[in-house]
Amino acid sequence: MTALVLDCDGVLADTERYGHLPAFNTTFERYGLPVRWSEDDYAVKLRIGGGKERMASLFDDPGLTAAAGVPDDEEGRRELLARWHRTKTEEFTRLVAQGRVPPRPGIARLVSAAVTGGWTVAVASTSAEPSVRAVLTTAVGAELAGRIPVFAGDVVPAKKPDPAVYELTVAELGLDRDDTLVVEDSRNGLLAATGAGLPCLVTVNGYTRSESFDEAVLVVSELGDPGRPPVEVLADRAGVAPGEQVELEDLRRCLRGRGTGGGR
């Protein structure tokens, strides 16, 4: 059973710049927190896996915690963080519903082709599940999204680069690791996939283009769509040689020619 497992943020849609970053800043403003993340600030925060974990990094600044009245005890901080993150998720979902978070090129086309071709398609993300489902629905449409299982949020205790979410996806769906391709956009995601023994195609974005993707089977600028400029191939360790856009047959070649990616 051939399978395609997709990350959400940066793969299904350009969520970080147009969704998560403004949602974080709106949340900070709503709670009177004396912080606003610039795009450069957020590029650093993206090295931390998980939205709650990025917010928790604010607790490292004693001046900020004092100004914001952050509790000293662990339980109080956990409750406050959960409240902040709920607000942030609601704001992010609102931005998605307003059409402010553009799907990435090629996602709807390839997901439709994979499902039609009998592939198992799933989404594995450590972002909040409501956010992931909202992005998936916007990216591929409600009918197709309803046929795609989602593994997201706190369904696993550890965030990427830990492979837990991919291990869970493989186990729950009964996937063959040698016949399952992951699509990621970041080094943390790539390490999570390869740590689970899965070959990985990387489609970079503005935040991740300069990261190291040595373990990836194929690295491209985007998946591409008709009418767009040809995709840029940044690394091709499986001899895939895609054309102007990545096609379903290219995904099959990624699996057949795994190269250096995906080995345990």
Q: Which residues does the annotation mark as catalytic?
A: 7, 9
**How far is residue 216's CA from residue 225's CA, in Å, rounded to a whole number?**
22
**How far is residue 36's CA from residue 28's CA, in Å, rounded to a whole number?**
7
Per the DSSP assignment, residues forming a β-bridge with 154 are none
**How far is residue 180's CA from residue 182's CA, in Å, rounded to a whole number?**
7
**How far is residue 132's CA from residue 122's CA, in Å, rounded to a whole number?**
12
Cα-trace Rg, the chain: 18
CB of 76 closer than 8 Å to CB of 240 = no
For 184, left (φ over 0), alpha (ψ -120 to 50), or beta?
beta
Per the DSSP assignment, residues forming a β-bridge with 220 are 203, 233
Listed in order, strand segments (DSSP E) in the chain are 3-6, 120-124, 150-151, 180-184, 200-203, 218-220, 233-236
| Residue listed under structure tokens 């840029």 | 232
Per the DSSP assignment, residues forming a β-bridge with 184 are 202
CB of 16 closer than 8 Å to CB of 42 = yes
